[in-house]
A = this chain, B = another copy of it.
Amino acid sequence: MRNLKILFRCLLFAAVASSSNAQIAQRNILTEQLGYPPDAKLLIVHADDLGFTHSVNAASIKALESGAVNSASIMVPCPWFPEIADYAKSHLDFDFGLHLTLTSERVYYRWGPVAPAGKVPSLLDNNGYLHHDWTRETHIDPAEAEIELRAQIDRAYAMGVRPTHLDSHQYRLDSTNQDLFEVALRLAHQYKLPFFVTRDWFADFPYLEKTLGPIDVVIDHTITIQPDVFAAATTAPEKWAAFYNKAIRNMQPGVTELVIHLAYDDPEMRAATRERDTWGAAWRQRDFDFFTSAAFRQLLRDQHIQLITWRQIANRLPHN
């Protein structure tokens, strides 16, 4: 959790961060590789956690079909993975990635590993589920993490998903240690897929920049909403849209990923998340309402922001 908090702090200022000359140069490379002028503001509107519940699947599909949300990633160990895999299989033009998952972070609704439990003991709690959380005492064996994540990717392919990218649930692969980040990069290389990393995280996790090689993709910025906004929006609902409005108006040139969490505030989702408001049912309904609104589309137009996908980025990888 400590690492996640650092990451939060880092992300909070992401949208308004100033850039060094070196960063501008690097940014221009990705933007230009994608065929855009160097001052273009490119945005991936990315829904996380597909497969988590039916509510997440239904709301995310609705938002993807409305067109203003244009990318998403899927959690393979989750019980509703077969539903979203079936959808992805019949919508191969959509920009679905895999949301590599090493935790089962809720209390009343849980899942185990995809790999055989005997091969990944360090990932499991006493009841056989993926850990609820990692404490300082939890030793996650990177070799076991790699076995589990390879099993997740293989199950996704076996069930018809053709992912365009990889990313990490709860940023565990980015924000824990170099060993786990190396696992993510090895999988990205093996499956020839880009793995989501942004240079916004470099200051807090110096091993990221050090570990990345010349064929790895680095996104310039990321934006995601924070628990303090959720708390404020409880009494002043307009603060939810205000956060996104400000963040998008402050977007810098380069490639930005907007990480969002969609679901309906319905009985299933309220029950699945009832022990904690953060990324809970009401939070996700607010995201759904904002990102399917006409106001969000208008904002993108007003700010001359162009939507891009991970598929476009993947197509620029040297091996593709």
Q: Which residues of A contact B (CB under 8 A)?
A: 53-55, 57-58, 79-83, 86, 107-112, 114-119, 126-128, 151, 155, 158-159, 264, 266-268, 271-272
In the complex, are the beta carbons of A79 and B127 less than 8 A apart? no
CB-defined contacts of A155 to chain B, threshold 8 Å: 127-128
Copies of this protein in the complex: 2
C-alpha spacing A109/B58, complex, angstroms: 13
In the complex, are the beta carbons of A55 and B108 less than 8 A apart? no
Q: Which residue of chain B is the closest to A158 with respect to CB atoms?
A: B127
Other 13 A-B pairs with CB < 8 A, given A54-B268, A81-B110, A266-B268 = A53-B268, A54-B109, A55-B268, A57-B271, A82-B108, A82-B110, A83-B271, A86-B107, A116-B116, A118-B119, A126-B158, A266-B267, A267-B268
In the complex, are the beta carbons of B110 and A112 less than 8 A apart? no
Q: When the two chains form the complex, which single residue of B116, B271, B272 contacts A118, counting CB atoms closer than 8 Å?
A: B116
CB distance from A280 to the nearest CB of B (A): 14
CB distance from A144 to the nearest CB of B (A): 13
Q: Which residue of chain B is the closest to A78 with respect to CB atoms?
A: B79
Interface centre among A83, A115, A128, A268 (most CB of B within 10 A): A268
C-alpha spacing A57/B260, complex, angstroms: 29
Q: When the two chains form the complex, which single residue of B58, B86, B111, B117 contacts A79, counting CB atoms closer than 8 Å?
A: B111
Q: 9 A-B contacts, Cβ less than 8 Å apart?
A: A54-B268, A79-B110, A83-B108, A83-B271, A86-B107, A115-B117, A127-B158, A128-B151, A266-B268
C-alpha spacing A268/B107, complex, angstroms: 19
Q: Which residue of chain B is the closest to A271 with respect to CB atoms?
A: B54
Interface centre among A83, A111, A126, A266 (most CB of B within 10 A): A83
CB-defined contacts of A83 to chain B, threshold 8 Å: 108-109, 271
CB-defined contacts of A159 to chain B, threshold 8 Å: 127
In the complex, are the beta carbons of A271 and B109 less than 8 A apart? no
C-alpha spacing A195/B54, complex, angstroms: 34
